[in-house]
Structure 1
Amino acid sequence: MPVTTATTTAEDTLYVYGIAPAGVRAPRRPGVDGAPVRLLTGAGLCAAVSDAPARLRPRRRDLLAHQGVLDELVAQGPLLPMRFGVLSPDPGVLEAQLRSDAGHLTRQLESLRGRVELNVKGSVVPGCFVELVRRDQGLRELARRTRQKPDYEANVRLGEAIARGVRREARRAARDVLAHLAPFAERTVHGPTDDEQVLSTSFLLPAADEARFREAVAARARRWGDRLALGVTGPLPCYSFVDQRPAPAGR
C-alpha cells in the first residue's frame, strides 16, 4: 500500500486499516481520531479507510481504535492488516493500487482464509538454582570453591555463571517448545529475542486447530514451567504473514 508516516497530513490523505475481499461490511465503530470508516472498492477488493487526522500520533485511544476496526474486519473473513500509521495520499492512488496489485493481494487473502495468527513468547524463569547446580559439574565445582573461599568476586562469578546456566536452560526449553508447536503451523515467523525473552514466534495455522495448539502450549508450559514462562497472544490479524510486495505505486 502507499505508505507514509507523518505527524501532519494533507486534506485528501486517507488512513488505511487493511485490505479485504469486496463484499465485507464497513466497520461500525469509529476509526483513528474518531473518524468514520468507509470502504474503497476495486478489482474484487476493498480497502478500509478513514480521513487521516491533522496530526497522527500513536495515542492509546487511536491504537485501540485501529485494532478495533481490524477486529471487525477479520471477524468477516481474510484480511491483509496494515500496522498503525499507514497513509495513502488520496483515494485515486489507493484505488489504482488495488487494481494494479489485485492478483498479488487476492492470492495473499486466499492464503489467509480460515487461518489465524497466534504469537508465543517465552521468558526466562529465574530460580531452580539447586537443581541447575546439581546437574552441571562446572557449576558444582565453582560453587564448591566459592564456599571454601567466599569473597565478593567469587560470589559475582558464581552468580553470573548461574545466570548464564538459567538462560541456557530456558533456551533449551524454547527449542523444545518450537519443535512441538511447529507441526501445527503452516508458516512461522521468529521475532526478536534477548537474554530474558528467549522465545518470540508467530504461528499461522488453521482456525480449527487453535484449541489443539493452545493445549500443546499448555502442555509445554507444564513441562518447562520451572525454566520458561510461556504466553500466547491471539488470535491476531495476520500482520506477520502479509507480504506487501510488489512495491506500491507512488511510494
Structure 2
Amino acid sequence: MTAPATTESPYTTDTTAVTAVATLPAEEPATAPKALYVYGISPAGIRTPRSAGVDGAPVRLVSESGLCAAVSDAPPRLRPRRRDLQAHQAVLDDMAAQGPVLPMRFAVLSPRTDALLSQLRADATHLTEQLESVRGCVELNVKGTVVPGHFADLVRRDDQLRTLALRTRRRPDYEANVRLGEAIALGVRREARRAAREVIDRLAPLAVRTVQGTTDDEQVLSASFLLRSGDEARFREAVAERARACGDRLSLSVTGPLPCYSFVDPRPATPAGR
C-alpha cells in the first residue's frame, strides 16, 4: 500500500510521504483535508496516548471495525529529527503499555481520515490476526560485532595461518605482511561468524519467532527475537551466557524491549495475479 499521499492508500511511507507533505503548494485551500501521521494500530478501547506526537502535535485515536489507529496531523515538513523519533517511540510505548500494537515506522502517512478508516475496515481481519500474533510479546534485537584481538590464538590453531606467519617471520617484507594481515582478518571474521551462528542456535528456541537482519564484515550478527514478555529475563540470561562463551570472538549487545516492528505487517499480502 505504499503510494503517494494523493492516492486513496492510507499508509504512505518514508521519503515518498515526506516529499508529498513537504511540497504542498502555498495556495492549497485552508479547508483541504490534512494528511495524518500514523503511529500504530491497536484493538479499539485503549486510552488516547498522553505523549505529544511528532512536531509536538496532539495525538488522537480513530476507530473502525474493532480497531483504532493513533494519529496526529502531519507536519508541513517531516524530518527524522531526534526529538520527533523520540516522540514517535513515546506514543508507541503508551499504546504498548495497554496491549498489543502494530507499530508503524517513522514517517508513515495517510492522506485523509476517511481513507484510513476505509482501510481499517477492509483489512480488519488481517490486522486483528496480526495483533493477536504479538499479544503479550516484545521484540529484542541482538547484535554481534567482530572482536579483533584474538588473532594470536587463531594463528596457533590454524595450520595455514601458522605456516604463513612462520614464512613471513623468516622472510619479512611489505607484501608478506599484507598477506598475513589479510589472512588473519579473514580468519577472525570467519570465527566471529561461526560464533554468531552458535548464538542464533542457542537463542532461537527461547523465542516465538526469529528474524535475521542484514550483516557486514564487522557486524556479523543482527537478529530480532519475538518473546513472550515473561521469557525476557531468561532470554537476557542466555545472551549473557553466550557473551561470556564467545567474548574473545564476538561482542554482543541487546536492544529492547521494542515494539514488534520485525514481526508484523499491517498490509495483507496481495493475492497472486492482482
TM-score bracket for the superposition, by shorter chain length: over 0.9
Q: Is 1:143 matched with 2:165? A: yes
Partner of 1:167: 189
SS in 1 for 2:88: helix
SS in 1 for 2:19: coil
For the 8 Å contact 1:20–1:80, the answer to whether it is kept is: yes
SS in 2 for 1:240: helix
CA shift, 1:128, in A, is: 1.2
Aligned pair partner of 1:217 in 221, 239, 242? 239
Q: Which amino acid aligns with 1:7?
A: T
CA shift, 1:247, in A, is: 6.2
CA distance in 2, matches of 1:103, 1:12: 27
Number of residues of Structure 1 aligned to a counterpart in Structure 2:
248
Partner of 1:28: 50
For the 8 Å contact 1:124–1:170, the answer to whether it is kept is: yes
Partner of 1:7: 19
CA shift, 1:29, in A, is: 1.3
For the 8 Å contact 1:8–1:54, the answer to whether it is kept is: no
Q: Which amino acid aligns with 1:46?
A: C
SS in 2 for 1:127: helix
Aligned pair partner of 1:75 in 69, 76, 97? 97
Sequence identity, in percent?
72
For the 8 Å contact 2:130–2:266, the answer to whether it is kept is: no
CA distance in 1, matches of 2:106, 2:172: 54
SS in 1 for 2:145: strand
Report matched runs for 1:100-249 at 5 Å: 100-246=122-268
Q: Which amino acid aligns with 2:101?
A: L
CA shift, 1:19, in A, is: 0.2
Q: Which amino acid aligns with 1:150?
A: P
Q: CA RMSD in A?
A: 1.2
CA distance in 2, matches of 1:119, 1:33: 28
For the 8 Å contact 1:7–1:57, the answer to whether it is kept is: no
Partner of 1:64: 86
CA shift, 1:218, in A, is: 0.2
CA distance in 2, matches of 1:110, 1:8: 33
CA shift, 1:244, in A, is: 2.5
- Give 5+ residue unaligned stretches, structure 2: 1-9, 25-32
For the 8 Å contact 1:8–1:55, the answer to whether it is kept is: no
CA distance in 2, matches of 1:142, 1:51: 64
Q: Which amino acid aligns with 1:191?
A: G
CA distance in 1, matches of 2:124, 2:197: 39
Aligned pair partner of 2:108 in 77, 83, 86? 86
CA distance in 1, matches of 2:240, 2:89: 27
Q: Deviations over 1:74-101 (max 9, x none)?
A: 1111000000000000000001111111
CA shift, 1:27, in A, is: 0.9
Moved over 3 A (4+): none
CA shift, 1:8, in A, is: 4.8
Q: Which amino acid aligns with 2:245?
A: R
For the 8 Å contact 2:37–2:71, the answer to whether it is kept is: yes
CA distance in 2, matches of 1:180, 1:33: 42
For the 8 Å contact 1:134–1:140, the answer to whether it is kept is: yes
Q: Deviations over 1:126-164 (max 9, x none)?
A: 011110000000000000000000000000000000000
CA shift, 1:231, in A, is: 0.4
CA distance in 2, matches of 1:3, 1:149: 62
CA distance in 1, matches of 2:81, 2:177: 46
